[in-house]
Structure 1
Amino acid sequence: MAGNAGSVPADEPVAMSAPNLPKVAGIDPPASAPAQTAAPLDDLTPPPGLLLQDRLAGRVSDLTTLHELIERLAGTGSLDGALNEILRAGAALVGARRGLVVCEPADGLGPVTTLGLGLAHAELGHLETVPRCATSYGRLLDCSDGRAEPVAVPDLLGDTELDPRQREVAARLGYGASYAVPLATAGTPDLDTPDLDTPDVNPPDPKRLGAVVWFYDEPAEPVERQRHLVGLYARYASEHLALLLELERARARTATLTEELLPGRLPRIPGVRLAARHRTGPHGGGDWYDALALPEGAVGLAVGSVSGSGPGAVAAMGRLRASLRAYAVLEGEDPVAVLSDLELLLRLTEPARTATALFAYAEPARGSVVLAGAGHAPPLIVGAGRTEFVETSLSAPLGMLACWEAPSVEVSPEPGETVLLYTDGLLRRTGEPMDRAFARLHAAAASVPEADRDDPGAVADHVLRAVLPGEREEAGPSAVTGRAGSADDVVVLAVRFD
């Protein structure tokens, strides 16, 4: 985007920064002026009304562009997405090609994030080697009261007081000027103000969130019109960032709570090897898994999901999981009795919730697994000779009927086979109808490489990559991660029989 008169243009022009030339009949006639014309047309002064009209048209164009940029920012639902949009929009407004944004809330609670526009990872590393106090955005971040003003450095290499390291980095990266603005909210209004119509003599202190800087390839600085527009944009962007920041912190707290309520490690039981993967959605759900060593070398296996999301669902999940462990110790050899007790507890203590659950009583020495499910997806057996779903009876979720009961099913995995227990979130996250989601899961399990079949963790990871290819993964008993747009938790518990 090119700057207006008085600034050195950057790489490419943008329409909103170019002057709007008036189009008036007779300004450029096809025929030459007669000889007796008193003055050439170029010397004629446009009427005052025409100048005002042109100015108003330019102002409307600027506000329209600003409105479109703000709408795009409002459509972002993640902190990183909003920061990237701020970089792109601000670069268009000030006429720069590259930029850097630092999210660093003044309260010290994080998260701290640095993102670049038009800058490679190595170039960001070079910028971070410059002493913070020498950078324009660093001065904004270190401002104690949050009332910092934008910082323009129109000629970096021409500044005799420039830090030597900053000069070296600027020459290496090829930028000659910068313009930085703070990202800060208006703060919390003074609650002691007696009347909302009375102006507060002590306005609330701004709450610093971070700072953003744009780099020009040549010496330049934005003109007053551009400064005004980017200032308005930054004001709205800061409020939007503050909301996303609180949402991000809430997600992190919920994810931490979920991780603490799930098993810290899986038990070591002769004859079986266990691995679990857990991915949370953006709001935190109530999916869980468990594995419990029982008397006589048996093991109790459970997966389940509580309806709803957020801290309430996570807390309900913790209560149900703890209760299921107790029932498993008392009568784990009868999965139907375990789920019946859990259903009664749910109706008495969580009458507004429902839950799906699957409990299995496995005896590795006998190669036997007895299981029962309540509205839950069937397990999947994965082996060299077969990949098939376990045929379970159709049953309602817990809390849906006055009394729950369904027959149990016994299966006999062969040595070397892996039984996959999972929650419905794995299927729903595909975004496909259930029949196609089941088909995708079956194909993913059937395609596990031979070299990975001996490791239940590798089997679980392969299935997750194949079923949800767009999501990042983390290894471990309780890997908490997922896409921002995915609403469901995902649990996969892999049990390999030796």
Structure 2
Amino acid sequence: MTSRRPPRCAASSSRCSTAAPGPTSALPSRCSAPPCRSGCRSRTAGRSRRGTAPLTADGSGGDWYDTFELASGKVALVVGDVAGHGLAAASSMNQLRNGLRTLLVAHDGAVGPALEALDRLAKQLLPAEMATLWAGVLDPATGVMDYVCAGHLAPLVLHDGEAKFADVVRNPPLGFLREGPEVGRLTIGPGESLLVFSDGLVERRHAELTRRLAELRSTAAVTLDLEVLEHRMTGLESEDDATMLLVTAS
């Protein structure tokens, strides 16, 4: 993905779907954020579906997405997934989400040091949990995104009806890093989109992951409507949580 001119970045989706109301809900309650101070047109949004696993009555889960503007004008884009369901997973998710927000601000958007510190937090405070994470910091003026992929599935890159999975730099899940994470870099060029998602969108019992990923790729090449993608990939009775975040440069 090569930027041919400085893009304006917009993240888009169909309507937002949030967690059930309550203290464990940490998903954004609105789809869009104000325009960024750097002058770009930046709207951040996502979609999250709670699975049907009957573990709690409040719909709590461990998936989340997050996006916010940093003081530099760059934009943080995060999709995370704590294993499991229920209040324990939701509590861990809240700690990781809020911890990452704080660390990205404290490190001025340097995603590597922020994730290294978050990994230490996970080891000390959440030793029994396993979580995967995609965390990127996007420069809307250039389309360049520095990211850390910690045990997470690679995002989809989409352009002109074509879809392919990004060739990403991989790290172990949170809590299992032995040293600072390796930071990758990609560029979202004009007209290109990046779809980051949790594994609940594609993982199914008795179905090969490679086949499910191919199904997602072919579906996303036809439509980027997140509601359509969700219904096509998860159906109505999936037990797993599923979360998506779509970023499009224009």
Please tell me whether residue 351 in structure 1 is matched to residue 127 in structure 2. Answer: yes
Amino acid at match of 2:126: E
**In structure 2, how many angstroms separate the alpha carbons of the residues matched to 1:416 and 1:334?**
26
How much does 1:439 deviate? 0.7
Please tell me whether residue 271 in structure 1 is matched to residue 41 in structure 2. Answer: yes
TM-score of the two chains, using structure 1 as the length reference: 0.42
**In structure 2, how many angstroms separate the alpha carbons of the residues matched to 1:431 and 1:490?**
18
What SS does structure 2 have at the residue aligned with 1:296? coil
**In structure 1, how many angstroms separate the alpha carbons of the residues matched to 2:239 and 2:147?**
28
The structure 2 residue matched to 1:487, chosen from 239, 243, 248, is 239
How much does 1:338 deviate? 1.6
Please tell me whether residue 367 in structure 1 is matched to residue 149 in structure 2. Answer: no
Please tell me whether residue 255 in structure 1 is matched to residue 16 in structure 2. Answer: no
Q: Determine if contact 1:278/1:492 at 8 Å carries over to the other structure.
A: yes
What does 1:203-282 correspond to in 2, within 5 Å? 255-257=20-22, 260-265=25-30, 266-268=32-34, 269=36, 270-282=40-52
Please tell me whether residue 418 in structure 1 is matched to residue 193 in structure 2. Answer: yes
What SS does structure 2 have at the residue aligned with 1:263? coil
Bigger proportion of residues as helix? 1
Please tell me whether residue 447 in structure 1 is matched to residue 222 in structure 2. Answer: yes
How much does 1:374 deviate? 0.5
What SS does structure 2 have at the residue aligned with 1:260? coil
Structure 2 equivalent of residue 313 of structure 1 = 89
Post-superposition CA distance 1:123-162 (Å, at most 9, x none)? xxxxxxxxxxxxxxxxxxxxxxxxxxxxxxxxxxxxxxxx
Amino acid at match of 1:387: A
**In structure 1, how many angstroms separate the alpha carbons of the residues matched to 2:27 and 2:99?**
13
Amino acid at match of 1:395: N
The structure 1 residue matched to 2:152, chosen from 358, 365, 376, is 376
How much does 1:273 deviate? 3.3
**In structure 1, how many angstroms separate the alpha carbons of the residues matched to 2:50 and 2:94?**
15
Structure label with greater radius of gyration: 1
Structure 2 equivalent of residue 335 of structure 1 = 111
**In structure 2, how many angstroms separate the alpha carbons of the residues matched to 1:332 and 1:290?**
17
Structure 2 equivalent of residue 467 of structure 1 = 233
Post-superposition CA distance 1:31-69 (Å, at most 9, x none)? xxxxxxxxxxxxxxxxxxxxxxxxxxxxxxxxxxxxxxx
The structure 2 residue matched to 1:437, chosen from 196, 212, 216, is 212
Q: Determine if contact 2:103/2:117 at 8 Å carries over to the other structure.
A: yes
Q: Determine if contact 2:62/2:84 at 8 Å carries over to the other structure.
A: yes
What does 1:109-148 correspond to in 2, within 5 Å? none
Closer/same/farther in 2, CA of residues 332 and 426 from structure 1, 3 Å limit: farther
The structure 2 residue matched to 1:394, chosen from 165, 170, 176, is 170
Q: Determine if contact 2:25/2:90 at 8 Å carries over to the other structure.
A: no
**In structure 1, how many angstroms separate the alpha carbons of the residues matched to 2:174 and 2:249?**
29
Amino acid at match of 2:121: L
Structure 2 equivalent of residue 406 of structure 1 = 181
**In structure 1, how many angstroms separate the alpha carbons of the residues matched to 2:75 and 2:106?**
13
**In structure 2, how many angstroms separate the alpha carbons of the residues matched to 1:344 and 1:322?**
14
Higher relative contact order (CA 8 A, sep 6+): 2
Post-superposition CA distance 1:60-97 (Å, at most 9, x none)? xxxxxxxxxxxxxxxxxxxxxxxxxxxxxxxxxxxxxx
How much does 1:262 deviate? 1.4
Q: Determine if contact 2:24/2:87 at 8 Å carries over to the other structure.
A: no
**In structure 2, how many angstroms separate the alpha carbons of the residues matched to 1:264 and 1:404?**
35
Amino acid at match of 2:246: A
**In structure 2, how many angstroms separate the alpha carbons of the residues matched to 1:349 and 1:271?**
38
Post-superposition CA distance 1:303-356 (Å, at most 9, x none)? 101122211110111111011101111225322222111110011111111111
Amino acid at match of 2:29: G
Amino acid at match of 1:439: A
TM-score of the two chains, using structure 2 as the length reference: 0.81
Closer/same/farther in 2, CA of residues 430 and 388 from structure 1, 3 Å limit: farther
What SS does structure 1 have at the residue aligned with 2:232? helix
**In structure 1, how many angstroms separate the alpha carbons of the residues matched to 2:149 and 2:24?**
24
**In structure 2, how many angstroms separate the alpha carbons of the residues matched to 1:399 and 1:366?**
32
How much does 1:465 deviate? 3.1
Bigger proportion of residues as strand? 2
Structure 1 equivalent of residue 8 of structure 2 = none
**In structure 2, how many angstroms separate the alpha carbons of the residues matched to 1:355 and 1:305?**
5
Post-superposition CA distance 1:6-37 (Å, at most 9, x none)? xxxxxxxxxxxxxxxxxxxxxxxxxxxxxxxx
Q: Determine if contact 2:115/2:181 at 8 Å carries over to the other structure.
A: no
**In structure 2, how many angstroms separate the alpha carbons of the residues matched to 1:293 and 1:350?**
27
**In structure 2, how many angstroms separate the alpha carbons of the residues matched to 1:411 and 1:327?**
22
What SS does structure 1 have at the residue aligned with 2:33? coil
How much does 1:497 deviate? 1.4
What SS does structure 2 have at the residue aligned with 1:326? helix
Percent of matched pairs sharing the same residue:
32
**In structure 1, how many angstroms separate the alpha carbons of the residues matched to 2:147 and 2:132?**
14
Structure 2: runs of 5+ lacking an equivalent: 1-18
How much does 1:441 deviate? 1.0
